Chain A
Amino acid sequence: MTRRTRFILRRVALTLPVLLVMSVVVFLVLHLVPGDPAATMLGLRATPELITQVRADLDLDASLPAQYVNWLGGVVQGDFGRDFIADESVGHLIAQALPVTLELAVGALLLGLIIGVPVGIAAVKGGRTARRASEGFVVAGIALPDFWIGIMLVLLFSATLQWLPPSGFARVLEDPYQNLRYLTLPVIALGLGQATYFARTTRSAVEESLQAPYVLLLRAKGVSERSILWRHVLRNAAAPIVTVVGIVFGVLLGGAIVIESLFSIPGLGRLLVEAVEQRNYTVVQGCVLVIAFMFIVVNLLTDLVVGWLDPRVADSAAQ
């Protein structure tokens, strides 16, 4: 077995128990709620008959381990239970919301990369003004919350200039043009914040790579600075940038919650927040499970890609 295969197997094996324990934690959410979860969920609509029905649907009278096994069995088959408020299957709600969140996250990730990587390179290779501007960009990006940037974008582009809608959503397959109009501001608000992470990582990775002995050799051979940067240094700086891409994508899947609520985008984050407000625990469980699952899997894939890009990582982890 090669070191790389051993690394992949080891990393996958480490993820499985994490997924399992995560599922236990999410399952317990319903049971940690003070009082009877069925009564809490039904709120003012709670009648003894309805409570009995919901308790039966949730299987609450079985023993805890039996409930967990039943619940997990359903989840594995895509059955996340029932939303007792909207009277719909939670799996269906998640299936509708997930593509919306993914579209927003991918858009913000791409925008973050397109802005962040050049800003990071400018911080190392640019002139004095470029360096200052890049530092200012990073500090502002860290200090300002993304949803506040979102509000300011609405103030400028919706309220004042009236170029783009302040909130709402259209599905990309139904109306691509409106979809673009609705997603522009949220993607900018989310992407700008992420760009600062890429800028910081690119800066430190490029700085580190530039100090490597091979750069000295390339310079001695008369290779142009541009070629050194684009063909050698950036290729070597790719591993840390990919790591941050993975982290940021994972965070965006769960972290778009505030932006989705601000712009009324019907994604997973908004579904979760509304469910928490309504104490709709089956929906909370479903959303948390899906977001956490994607977060863990994205982290796993990132590690595997980094191991593939930089064999030293795989080597040291496999030893």
Chain B
Amino acid sequence: MSTVATTGLRARSGRVVRGMGPAGRMAAILLGFVLLIAIFAPVIAPQDPEAIDVSRILAGPELSHPFGWDSQGRDVLSRLLYAYRTSLAVAVGSVLFALVIGGAAGLFAGYFKGWADSTTMRIVDLMLAFPALLLAIMLIAILGPGSLVVVLAIGAIYIPIFARVSRSSVLSVSTALYVDAARCRGASDFRIIRQHVIPNAIGPSIVQASILAGVAIQIEAALSFLGLGVQPPNPSLGVMLADGRDFLQQAPGLVIFPGLAIALTVVGFLLLGDALRAKLDPRGELE
């Protein structure tokens, strides 16, 4: 990216962070906290998440184990921290994957128009013709369950959404005067896309990414809860919910804490999305 465009983007992201308002700042703090937990889980976690103490199965909270023990005698707090790390990685990974593929497809359709547009958008329409969870489950049926497959499956749900958002903003940016001017100067399509179209059209996709990252946490939890996502003994929020559902009476904390963790993260991403929308997508090009 050229220096001018990079400086422009940097200056704009600076303005975005400063001007996000109280809700946006709260979201930024909440998500920052969550991100730190996810990154430093191995350092913060008081115990090994896999370590089993059979004498403490389903035991209640103690000072050294504030969330108690699970059905196999593992420390719930440590597992929750690691689960968070997995769930967040899956959510962010799937959104990035879909942003790159869907964004590129939308860019291709919106910039080149004509057959490129109609072919891409027919594929997008077809992907949207399947209920979201069904599309994910179909992919898992073919590839088998696992963390990486969940990233692809959630990504597949999101690709058509990013393609639409990116196409619509690229369509409006590519008719701008500065794009015409660059073309008159003899700039290549690649240069125009890199220097003018992407920096100016990426805003709505970033807003959408923030909102969808929150939803991805929920989808991961649902798929792992069904046994089709992250596979035990790896902890993820959905795996923890599935583990805890059979011990509701003895240890309700096993399902309450992962559920609250999901809710907090989703609220964080939604607030961030709202705050970013006000700054990056004032015309409302989102789906």
Contacts and interface: CB of A to CB of B under 8 A. Distances in A.
A88 to B, nearest CB: 19
A108 to B, nearest CB: 15
A258 B226 contact: yes
Interface residues of B, number: 35
Interface in B119-142: 125-126, 129-134, 137-138, 140-142
A292 interface: yes
A98 B72 CA distance: 37
Interface in A155-189: 155, 159-160
B270 interface: yes
A253 B131 contact: yes
A273 B137 contact: yes
B259 A151 contact: yes
A142 interface: yes
A276 B255 contact: no
A261 B248 contact: no
Interface string A101-145: 000000000000000000000000000000000000001101111
A196 to B, nearest CB: 12
Interface in A244-291: 250-251, 253-255, 257-258, 261-262, 272-273, 275-277, 279, 281, 284, 288, 291
B129 A18 contact: yes
Interface residues on A, range: 35 or more
A260 B92 CA distance: 28
Contact of B259 (A145, A253, A261, A292): A145
B126 A148 contact: no
A18 B263 CA distance: 36
B252 A148 contact: no
A85 interface: no
Majority-rule SS of A interface residues: helix
Contacts of B259: 144-145, 148, 151-152
B263 A273 contact: no
Contact of B133 (A148, A254, A275): A254
Majority-rule SS of B interface residues: helix
A18 B214 CA distance: 30
A7 B126 CA distance: 21
A174 B241 CA distance: 33
A154 B255 CA distance: 12
Contacts of B129: 18, 22, 292, 295-296, 299
Contact of B262 (A18, A21, A145, A253): A145
A291 B245 contact: no
A155 B227 contact: no
Which of B141, B214, B227, B249 is packed against the most chain A CB atoms within 10 Å?
Answer: B141
A296 B130 CA distance: 8
B131 A147 contact: no
4 closest A-B pairs by beta carbon, nearest first, are A254-B131, A148-B259, A143-B263, A143-B266
Interface of B: 125-126, 129-134, 137-138, 140-142, 214, 218, 221-222, 225-228, 241, 245, 248-249, 252, 255-256, 259, 262-264, 266-267, 270
26 contacts: A18-B126, A22-B129, A26-B138, A143-B262, A144-B259, A147-B225, A148-B259, A148-B262, A148-B263, A151-B241, A151-B255, A154-B245, A154-B248, A159-B248, A250-B131, A251-B131, A253-B131, A254-B131, A255-B133, A262-B245, A273-B137, A276-B141, A279-B141, A281-B141, A288-B137, A292-B129
